[in-house]
């Protein structure tokens, strides 16, 4: 069975336009065209005023394996906050097997099913209910292929690998991932790195950590990109694989108002207990953990 293990790179959009000198005037129209290709309003509040006034904002980052005729599931979901005052970007991963109410459907299911049932809006409404009714200002959705194309576009990334393994399963291509600092020099190799689960003692939790590590590696590499060809490839990858309700004006405001938010990164993974209910595996998250996540997000938005 093909594993739908996805990496959400939506935060990269923020950094692309917030890297400080990251795009020159002569690329203005290319960036505007890419922003237009990415823009949609399938869900999300679109709190444009908050961005223009340099307020802390929240974004839901979704990773989907979408194909023609198949919407797929949001197998990666990250609640993200950007606080320009504290210069902080907080990323909280919500595991795909998390058992919760699917808002708008009236059922209890894995949280990644919300996107399959009702697209971006249902996924967003469900995530908002899970984190304690804190609304997301924006959403950013990336299709699986986008991660591979972005890694290629920036010329590869370097990560610190905690395990030593040879790639596994359906996507096996003969890669060896050594322990320590390694370079993922192609998108295919990066995909193998973030997809691995069964060889990791931490399972989904270890995989999600690798996802966040690669996100930040691409973010940091992108912030230092200077060549015209690299920017063109990045824009092509974003325009083809990313959808968001951030407008071009929002992105320009992010460039000036949130450029330092990545200086302090907070990463967290929602914790719970694995249980089989009616023969189906779920991650059951207790009330105390839900409150902790709520408070973490609320603190960043009100700091």
How is residue 247 written in tokens? 């407008």
pLDDT for the residue 71? 66
Q: What percentage of the chain carries pLDDT values higher than 90? A: 41
- Greater pLDDT, 1 or 280: 280
Which of 107, 33, 130 has its CA nearest to residue 277? 107
Using H for helix, E for strand and C for coil, what is the string for 28-51? HHHHHHHHHHHECCCCCCCCHHHH
Q: Return d(Cα 126, Cα 262) in angstroms, integer.
A: 27
Residue 64 above 60 pLDDT? yes
pLDDT for the residue 172? 61
Please report the domains of the chain, with CATH numbers, ordered by start residue: 10-154+228-302 (3.30.420.590)
Which of 20-24, 63-67, 291-295 is modeled with the greatest confidence?
A: 291-295
Using H for helix, E for strand and C for coil, what is the string for 267-301? EEECCCEEEEECCEEEEECCHHHHHHHHHHHHHHH
Q: Position of tokens 């990323």? A: 91
Residue-wise pLDDT for 83-114, tens only, equals 999 999 898 999 989 999 999 999 999 999 99
Residue-wise pLDDT for 192-230, tens only, equals 898 787 888 887 778 878 877 887 788 778 777 666 677
């Amino acid at each position: 069975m093909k594993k739908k293990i996805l990496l959400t790179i939506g935060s990269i959009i923020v950094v692309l336009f917030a890297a400080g000198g990251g795009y020159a005037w002569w690329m203005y129209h290319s960036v505007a065209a890419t922003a237009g290709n990415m823009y949609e309003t399938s869900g999300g509040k679109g709190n444009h005023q908050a961005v223009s006034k340099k307020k802390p904002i929240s974004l839901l980052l979704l990773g989907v394996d979408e194909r023609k005729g198949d919407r797929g599931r949001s197998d990666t979901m990250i609640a993200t906050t950007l606080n320009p005052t504290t210069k902080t970007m907080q990323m909280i991963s919500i595991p795909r097997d998390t058992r919760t109410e699917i808002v708008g459907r009236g059922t209890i299911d894995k949280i990644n099913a919300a996107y399959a049932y009702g697209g971006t809006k249902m996924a967003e409404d469900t995530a908002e209910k899970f984190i304690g009714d804190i609304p997301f200002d924006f959403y950013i959705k990336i299709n699986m292929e986008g991660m591979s194309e972005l890694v290629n576009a920036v010329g590869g990334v370097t990560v610190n690998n905690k395990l030593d393994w040879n790639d596994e399963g359906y996507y096996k291509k003969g890669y060896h991932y050594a322990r320590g600092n390694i370079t993922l020099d192609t998108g295919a190799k990066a995909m193998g790195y973030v997809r691995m689960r069964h060889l990791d003692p931490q399972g989904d939790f270890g995989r999600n950590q690798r996802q966040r590590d690669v996100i930040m590696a691409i973010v940091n590499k992108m912030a230092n990109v200077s060549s015209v060809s690299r920017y063109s490839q990045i824009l092509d990858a974003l325009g083809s694989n990313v959808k968001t309700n951030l407008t071009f004006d929002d992105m320009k405001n992010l460039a000036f108002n949130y450029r330092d938010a990545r200086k302090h990164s907070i990463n967290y993974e929602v914790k719970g207990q694995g249980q089989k209910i009616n023969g189906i595996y779920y991650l059951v998250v207790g009330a105390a953990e839900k409150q902790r996540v709520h408070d973490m997000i609320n603190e960043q938005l009100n700091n």
